[in-house]
A = this chain, B = another copy of it.
Amino acid sequence: MSEAAMACDKGGVETGPGLLTGISLPAAVIHEAPLAHNLAWMQRFAEAHGARLAPHGKTTMAPALFRRQLEAGAWGITLATAPQCRAAFVHGVRRLLMANQLVGEANMGIVAELIEGGADYYCVVDSAENVRQLGRFFAARGLELQVLIELGVSGGRCGCRDASQVEALVAAIAEQPSLRLAGIEGYEGMIAGGDEVAAVRAYGARLVDTVRLLHASGVLESEAPIVTASGSKWFDLIAEAFDRAELREHYTPVLRPGCYVVHDHRLYASAMTDVKARHPHLEGELQPALEVFAHVQSLPEPGLAIIALGKRDIGHEPDLPMPLRLYPLCSHPSAATTPLDIAGWHATHIMDQHVFLAIPGDARIAVGDVIAFGTSHPCLTFDKWRQLLLVDEALKAKESLETCF
């Protein structure tokens, strides 16, 4: 990384120094051990269910993590946009599952270059209009585009709502020689309200039934048609729906969780508790690996600490950042590396560059102390950083992980 580029980055992070000395805070860090654990855990989980893993790369957009995911055995990387696919491809990812519609000629042009460069690229379709646009564009380029029909749910996001829409889409695709129908795709994460577990199971069954029906009707132009779904919350239910001898043998079932790689401290932690409750014999579980370290900046009133950390540095949805541990760098320098439990401390407000923390009136804390924060939903923390730091147990920086947002 050039000096100018580093100077243009808020982190300007270098590897080597410890997180409590020498590194400008706030800094986003990934802990080495839980990261390695999560990579292996989810790969094993997918394989145990006869499924391939194509982790959603939009969570991290960190090529160094894509590489680790592929090395752990992932079948490919899922992405959400054409520029994301380009970023992954440039960094060596060859199989790109774009779990989203490809819209706009400039974006189609990006994808055409990837296909010309050798990418095994898939996108999803849910409208005849988009199918015509894609067919025209890729025919003009003399390329073949692999598409998956998206199944949606009523009141949800994209995707065909019913079988008649799927049928019409199959017909529209058949009219475009440049398009190859390779399977079906869905996203169960839009299901909310009522008996969600039952609804996700039903959705998984609908995906399986649909891909079988299309396969039987001979419209799938693939030896092992793809059937794919799963975000980071219901991945176990989708895996169960896909876990059939028939699918293992004749299809390519693909799971696409993204957040698992660093997990989180509340939203997905709670989802993991549900997964464990549904599968009491499941071995191990995901562990939170992503934290943001920041300084206490001001103690202007009893019971209030202002932290040098804001919306520019850490996600704050659906939960405000969670203070996890205090490193008494200034209040107790000789024990700076011994973190203190600060259970009960909590954020009350966040601004662009500040977090407001409610603390006990008699808290032993000083300006300059360091607090490690966790979050709910890692996606919106990753995109605040051009680099994250991979750290070991001694909080020593081992690697700087570039992001491509």
Which residues of A are at the interface with B, using a C-beta cutoff of 8 A? 4-5, 7-12, 21-25, 58, 80-84, 86-87, 90-91, 100-101, 103-107, 110, 126-127, 129-130, 133, 152, 154-161, 295-301, 306, 308, 311-312, 330, 351-354, 356, 366-368, 379-380, 383-384, 386, 402, 404-405
Contacts and interface: CB of A to CB of B under 8 A. Distances in A.
A107 B293 CA distance: 14
Contacts of A84: 10
B161 A105 contact: no
Contact of A386 (B157, B161, B405): B405
B7 A352 contact: no
A23 B298 CA distance: 45
Given A8-B404, A160-B300, 18 more contacts: A5-B5, A8-B91, A9-B87, A9-B405, A10-B83, A10-B405, A23-B106, A24-B106, A24-B107, A25-B107, A104-B295, A130-B298, A157-B356, A158-B298, A158-B354, A159-B298, A161-B300, A384-B405
Contacts of A161: 300-301
Oligomer: number of copies: 2
Contacts of A351: 157
Tell me the dominant secondary structure on chain A's binding face: loop
B103 A12 contact: no
21 contacts: A7-B90, A9-B83, A10-B87, A12-B83, A12-B110, A22-B106, A25-B107, A101-B298, A101-B308, A103-B295, A103-B297, A104-B308, A127-B298, A127-B367, A129-B366, A133-B367, A152-B300, A157-B298, A157-B300, A158-B298, A312-B383
